[in-house]
Structure 1
Amino acid sequence: MTEAKTGSGSGNPLPVINEARRLETLADYHATQLSGDPELQRIVHFAAKLCDVPTAIVSLVESERQCFIAREGLEDEETPRSVSFCAHAMLDDELMEIRDATQDDRFAKNALVQGGPQIRFYAGQPLHANDGSPLGALCVIDTKPRPDGLNALQKQGLKVLAEAVMCRMQGHRDALFAAKEIKGKEGQFLTLVDSIPAIAWSTDAEGNFDYFNRRMIEFTGIERADNIDAIHPEDAEAADKAWRHSLTTGEPYEAEHRLRHADGSFRWMMARAIPVRDDTGKIIRWFGSAVDIDAVHKLSDSRDLMARELSHRIKNIFAVVSGLISLTIRKRPDQRELGDELIQTIRALGRAHDFVRPVDGAASDNLRGLLQELFAPYGTGDGARVRVVGDDFGILARSATPLALVFHELATNSAKYGALSVEDGFVELSVSDQDDDLLVLLWEEHGGPPPKTMPTDGFGSRLVEMSVTGQLGGSWERRWSEDGLVVELSLSKKAIAA
């Protein structure tokens, strides 16, 4: 069965491409010099998060290979063109979406589908030069099929991000060309700079602005280069500090700030500058550019707003469920113990959720902070009865829920039967990095009563087993020492650590 490409909407045959001309256009960008470029890396990182996929790539298709100048979640720097999905995507004028590659005749036998990286879902937004030449694609990849594909916001986001990629590549190409032409051809250089869509400027060696291109005047409405006061007041200090640092060190300048438009509004810009040196290495001038990235910022703000709203709704769900349980156990007092346990578990999940997805304030993402939040009911600071020691790690948001379930269960059992059930008992939880893709968490109870009988596997044990082996990619072991219960958890770093 052949899965039709979605997103083009044209229904027309793919265009015939002049390959020689296409390769000449691609070579003009010298885009491989942008490999690892911070701006492109931020774009692919955001694209992966926007589409909730592990992998995002900026791929440029050459004659025999496709090279990845920016990548998230992938080690390879290139693959043969013969297995390239992006070689197909770049030929269209809209997003190419493959919802299940194993069901698409074009790709089902592809080496990237049959073997690593096990591509199942693919969405590629074509990257086209100004003359329409296809250069490659900004793509997102998942190892799982996505029957429903991307939503409208994600598709629009990829389109905006692809435009930002081309702006960066265009800016890079223009900067290289300008640097070459400036030697002895300043007049031609100024004409060229006035023709580009980005803002361009120059200063002397001390950082005194002496030129802005026509785009700057059109954008801000400011006529004189020595009267630039258009940066947003909240951004001016940081931008000036970064610029002074570059003047002092000679390092390239880069800053994001808002710039006042001629209509009075402020738009986000990505500003860059590089020094020009003489034969002795002395800086003699600075040349810079500023690219409008306001659309990307608005998209990010919209996504953050949606995330906060979702987080608020989830917290409300926790509260509603707890309330329903409370109402139920009032009618069924014989189930009060079970109801109270469920309420405490839901509250633990709520604390974990609020730790990584707070409605207000900044989210936290470290393991020790999450554990301290969960164990707060058992004391904090010097009075903490669950003492967390050892290494700390950044954690993924998706690992917070299973971690909360596991340690809430251990703490609850300890409060009922173990060290936390007596006044002088305490628990030490040590976290250690085993340097082999494993985190080992050792739960050791001290000072508790010995178990009257060997506990059997009940619901709590099955819950821990499901969370540890199923969601955290690890294993666990219980044993009883003379001092109390010992639980050793070996968890996968890939499943937990950010």
Structure 2
Amino acid sequence: MAVNVAPREAARLEALNDYRILDTESEQSYDDITFLAAQLCDAPIALISLVDADRQWFKSKVGLAVNETSRDVSFCAHAILGEETLVVKDARQDERFRNNPLVCSEPNIVFYLGVPLCTPSGAKIGTLCVIDQQPRELSKLQIRSLEALAHQVVLQLELKRISDQLAGALQRINVMETLIPICSYCKGIRNDQGYWQSVEAFIKRHDNVEFSHGVCNACMAKYFPEVAPLPEGASADGDQG
């Protein structure tokens, strides 16, 4: 059965791509979550599945060899359409899935439970799911525990996104600190025309800049009056010309 496109699909895909997680290597933090999910439910298969435009890709997997499948046959693509955890007790009896190739052949899905991975902005980018080849029914405690684990998946993704942003910001700062003349005291910046202006005014008009340090004339007069240049038109004895 073909899967309908999720509401606000463009925004959903943008949220997914912002994490820069697709096609990355396996990571222990995610593998620990699928291991716990499989153990908690005594399920042979557990997946962290991310639903891309035309595929579902598995960031972490237990009991499955493939890295992705077509979105057209994805159970998880159905799960992200709703607000609640999707439970399919017996896919062979469910008209949405009975003719699905993942049911009729390997991995012979019968039972499926998928918890949507919902970002802070409300985008559902995939699921944490468990799968079995026989009919199942999980307890409320098991389902609630899987939902808690799904929340941890999103937290891991958010930590990675924020970490990447901070690393990028620090890299830009390191580059900025080597070239642009900046007053060590008031933090004013000397522009290309030789005028000093505030950091805020300068950065608003520049990007990917670098900083070096200097002292502006006003700070020279305040902190080093003995060596500060005289104001234009002033004499050494203090008379104005």
TM-score (norm 1): 0.33
Can you list the C-alpha shifts for 1:78-131, whole angstroms capped at 9, x where unaligned?
A: 000000000111122221100000000000000100010000000000001111
Alignment of 1:320-469 (within 5 A): none
**Which residue pairs with 2:50 in the alignment?**
60
Question: CA–CA distance in 2 between the matches of 1:174 and 1:34?
Answer: 17
Measured after TM superposition, the shift of residue 58 of structure 1 is 0.1
Alignment of 1:154-233 (within 5 A): 154-185=142-173
Which one of the candidate residues 49, 67, 75 is aligned to 1:77?
A: 67
Question: CA–CA distance in 2 between the matches of 1:107 and 1:59?
Answer: 18
- Closer, same or farther: CA 80–15 of 1 in aligned 2, 3 Å: closer
Can you list the C-alpha shifts for 1:4-51, whole angstroms capped at 9, x where unaligned?
A: xxxxxxxxxx99611111111110001126541101101000100100
Measured after TM superposition, the shift of residue 71 of structure 1 is 0.4
Measured after TM superposition, the shift of residue 185 of structure 1 is 3.9
The answer to whether the 8 A contact 2:112-2:131 is kept is yes
Question: CA–CA distance in 2 between the matches of 1:180 and 1:107?
Answer: 44
Provide the alpha-carbon RMSD of the alignment: 1.6
Equivalent residue of 1:183, what SS?
helix
Question: CA–CA distance in 1 between the matches of 2:6 and 2:15?
Answer: 16
The answer to whether the 8 A contact 1:86-1:137 is kept is yes
Question: CA–CA distance in 2 between the matches of 1:65 and 1:184?
Answer: 35
The answer to whether the 8 A contact 2:35-2:46 is kept is yes
* Amino acid aligned to 1:73: G
Structure 2 residues not aligned, in runs of 5+: 175-241
Equivalent residue of 1:79, what SS?
strand
**Which residue pairs with 2:12 in the alignment?**
22
* Amino acid aligned to 1:41: D
The answer to whether structure 1 residue 100 and structure 2 residue 90 are counterparts is yes
* Amino acid aligned to 2:49: S
Question: CA–CA distance in 2 between the matches of 1:94 and 1:74?
Answer: 25
The answer to whether structure 1 residue 127 and structure 2 residue 117 are counterparts is yes
Question: CA–CA distance in 1 between the matches of 2:6 and 2:105?
Answer: 31
Question: CA–CA distance in 2 between the matches of 1:78 and 1:63?
Answer: 12
* Amino acid aligned to 1:122: Y
Can you list the C-alpha shifts for 1:337-378, whole angstroms capped at 9, x where unaligned?
A: xxxxxxxxxxxxxxxxxxxxxxxxxxxxxxxxxxxxxxxxxx
The answer to whether the 8 A contact 1:47-1:140 is kept is yes
* Amino acid aligned to 1:18: R
Question: CA–CA distance in 2 between the matches of 1:15 and 1:64?
Answer: 10
Alignment of 1:108-127 (within 5 A): 108-127=98-117
- Closer, same or farther: CA 137–153 of 1 in aligned 2, 3 Å: same
**Which residue pairs with 1:282 in the alignment?**
none
**Which residue pairs with 2:206 in the alignment?**
none
The answer to whether the 8 A contact 1:35-1:70 is kept is no
* Amino acid aligned to 2:20: H
The answer to whether the 8 A contact 1:124-1:139 is kept is yes
Larger helix share, 1 or 2 = 1
Equivalent residue of 2:172, what SS?
coil
State which drifts further: 114-123 or 23-32: 23-32
**Which residue pairs with 2:239 in the alignment?**
none
Alignment of 1:260-299 (within 5 A): none
Equivalent residue of 1:32, what SS?
coil
After TM superposition, the runs of 4+ consecutive aligned structure 1 residues lying more than 4 A away are none
* Amino acid aligned to 1:19: E
Question: CA–CA distance in 1 between the matches of 2:76 and 2:25?
Answer: 17
Equivalent residue of 2:31, what SS?
helix
**Which residue pairs with 1:314 in the alignment?**
none
TM-score (norm 2): 0.68
Higher relative contact order (CA 8 A, sep 6+): 2
The answer to whether the 8 A contact 1:35-1:68 is kept is no
The answer to whether the 8 A contact 1:128-1:134 is kept is yes
Question: CA–CA distance in 2 between the matches of 1:84 and 1:15?
Answer: 12
The answer to whether the 8 A contact 1:45-1:56 is kept is yes
Measured after TM superposition, the shift of residue 179 of structure 1 is 1.0
Question: CA–CA distance in 2 between the matches of 1:35 and 1:92?
Answer: 29
* Amino acid aligned to 1:114: C
Can you list the C-alpha shifts for 1:206-249, whole angstroms capped at 9, x where unaligned?
A: xxxxxxxxxxxxxxxxxxxxxxxxxxxxxxxxxxxxxxxxxxxx
Question: CA–CA distance in 1 between the matches of 2:5 and 2:105?
Answer: 31
The answer to whether structure 1 residue 32 and structure 2 residue 18 are counterparts is no
Structure 1 residues not aligned, in runs of 5+: 1-13, 187-498
The answer to whether structure 1 residue 141 and structure 2 residue 136 are counterparts is no
* Amino acid aligned to 1:49: Q
* Amino acid aligned to 1:79: T
Equivalent residue of 1:112, what SS?
helix
